Amino acid sequence: MQTIVLGSGSPLPDPSRAGPATLVRTTAGDLLFDCGRGVLMRAAAVGASAGALAALFLTHLHSDHITDLNDIVTSRWVTSFQPSPLSVFGPAGTASVVTAVEAMLELDIGYRLAHHDDLDWRPSTDVVECERGTVFTGADVRVTAAPTDHAPVRPTVGFRVDDGSASVVVAGDTVPCAGLDELCSGADMLVHTVIRRDLIEPLGLARLTDVLDYHSSVEDAARTAARNGVGTLVLTHLVPAPPPGTETEWEALAREHFDGTVVVADDLVTLEVGAAT
């Protein structure tokens, strides 16, 4: 199994970091977790595509994590040569968001149906709203969901992918919580969104400091990984984005609490799950 961080960025546009998105390559196919801005551009760089996704998983419905949902829906539709419903798994509210995206695309759908004689079906999705338990199986793969804590964003979920003996958890935005611990127990890898409290707090600007109470700091993520015996901690959704050359500061903060492997993600970083990094 392989984990590829397609987008390591945050809500703030960054020329070097696409929006939050993690691709997990499994024996059951490509599984995509969240779909922030630029996701399909980054996917193309590793030979992935909307049409080839086995499933899409949404950790929550904050705009930066679903910005390019419309691009995935459209691209899958127009590059397929027979109906190919997109399987989408996410928290309560996901179905209404997908319905709204399809409604937004209605004019475009009409244009394409009118122009392409061989395209005589509409885009379609199979949405499963989930909170806890096994949500997807295929080959040797099992994907499990559990509730996380990103209040007042409710509900939110994290996901664990088990493929044979290898396991990776994609946390999404959350503070430390029991549901995340449940997913992380004994996992080979944890992909965790993080912020730098020490850099944000001194700014004193409410719009920025407000993010502190519903995101994990680097230290929080490291403690979660250590507490649950995780092998590799991948830091992503980095807020604020580290200027080049300062990534070691983030790694050092994590190492104060976690003695496993720490990876400060850049876009397209590719990691073997369960293997030495």
Sorting pLDDT into bands at 50, 70 and 90, what band is 277? very low
The three state secondary structure string of 135-203 is EEEECCEEEEEEEEEECCEEEEEEEEEEECCEEEEECCCCECCHHHHHHHCCCCEEEEEEECHHHHHHH
What integer best gives the mean pLDDT of the chain? 96
In this predicted model, what pLDDT tens digit does every residue of 30-59 receive, in sequence order?
A: 999 999 999 999 999 999 999 999 999 999
In this predicted model, what pLDDT tens digit does every residue of 182-229 receive, in sequence order?
A: 999 999 999 999 999 999 989 888 888 999 999 999 999 999 999 999
Cα distance between residue 153 and residue 36, in whole Å: 17
Q: Is 267 annotated as catalytic?
A: no
CATH 3.30.1490.20 fits 2-265, yes or no: no
> Looking at residue 275, what is its pLDDT?
61
Q: Which of 64, 162, 173, 220 is catalytic?
A: 64
Tokens found for residue 45:
């760089």
In this predicted model, what pLDDT tens digit does every residue of 228-246 receive, in sequence order?
A: 999 999 999 999 999 999 9
pTM listed for this prediction? 0.97
Exposure b/e, 76-94, CB count within 10 A at least 16 = b: bbeebeeebebbbbbbeeb
Tokens found for residue 49:
């595509």
